[in-house]
Amino acid sequence: MHSTGCIFVVVEYVFVPARLKFENVNTDAIIKTTGLNRIMQEACGGALRPGLRSFIIPVNTFKKILIMKTDLTKYYKSYYTANTRPELVTVEAAQYLSLTGKGDPSAPDYAARLQALYATAYALKFMYKAKALDFTVAKLEGLWWFDEKQYGDVKIQEAPRKIPRSEWEYRLLIRLPDFVREADVWTAKEAAFQKKGIAGIQEVTFYEMEEGKVVQMLHVGPFDTEPETLLEMKAFMDEHHFQRNGKHHEIYLSDFRKTPPAKLKTILREPVK
């Protein structure tokens, strides 16, 4: 078989028994987001190198690759980890599926947008699974903000209680592995829309973000007690003379549909300068 744009393409069997040759491989993108390097090391005594475009591996190694699944919470562990005290960290550039909206997160429109985002995420996942690059759909995230011209300079710890829930704007996010291409997001959207018919799928976009320096903290408990955690973060920011430099960011480590409110775990981030 010849290359059709897939990241992995079997182009020929070679005469070495039980081995396969791969060509036109985007190793730069897959090295840090999959366990392929580890598997190659174990099977062949060598690892992939950046810029390498072809290689030969045992068939048994290829079978391991076929069942391997990229879990971003493992490969980007620091991204999905925070302490229960404020800390300053630097967040790397990343790419996401994204969908924007405005209003109360308990309203039907928010739920419909979540459904559209996840439908696209799973369509994309199965596209890449067919290319032997399966991945786990990552944790839900959200950027939150409000019209500061209308409501003024509200302190971060006061905003959740002072700003009406109907006035909050948001960008829902699901992080993607680095090997996912923007063009494939559009293909996945079309497939998801044809299958599910959810109007919001048409609004899902490919989104890139590099937050840089952020103050973060792990919030444990219900969402309505977040101001207590934000107060600690604000004190840390004031102590170190940091100023806000972006939108409030939340990463939902727990499934709030299944987890008791007291046990919810949410990473709160405030970009700073």
117 plus 78 within the same structural domain: yes
- The parent domain of residue 28 ranges over 10-67
27 plus 100 within the same structural domain: no
Q: Is residue 1 part of a domain?
A: no
55 plus 78 within the same structural domain: no
141 plus 62 within the same structural domain: no
113 plus 35 within the same structural domain: no
247 plus 262 within the same structural domain: yes
Last residue of a domain, one of 67, 90, 106: 67
Which ranges of the chain have pLDDT less than 50? Answer: 1-18, 20, 22, 25, 31, 66-67
86 plus 61 within the same structural domain: no
Q: Is residue 2 part of a domain?
A: no
pLDDT at 3 (0 to 100): 34
142 plus 159 within the same structural domain: yes
Q: Using an 8 Å Cβ cutoff, are 132 and 8 in contact?
A: yes
The total number of structural domains that make up the chain: 2
Q: Is residue 4 part of a domain?
A: no
Q: Is residue 104 part of a domain?
A: yes
Rounded CA separation 99/105 (Å):
13
Report the CATH number that the domain containing residue 179 is assigned in CATH.
Answer: 3.20.80.10
Q: Is residue 194 part of a domain?
A: yes
26 plus 121 within the same structural domain: no
Q: Is residue 5 part of a domain?
A: no
54 plus 85 within the same structural domain: no
pLDDT at 179 (0 to 100): 87
Last residue of a domain, one of 18, 38, 67: 67
Q: Is residue 207 part of a domain?
A: yes
Q: Using an 8 Å Cβ cutoff, are 194 and 123 in contact?
A: no
Last residue of a domain, one of 48, 67, 86: 67
45 plus 128 within the same structural domain: no
129 plus 259 within the same structural domain: yes
pLDDT at 131 (0 to 100): 80
Mean pLDDT (the chain) is 83
* Termini Cα distance of the chain: 51
Q: Is residue 3 part of a domain?
A: no
pLDDT at 71 (0 to 100): 85
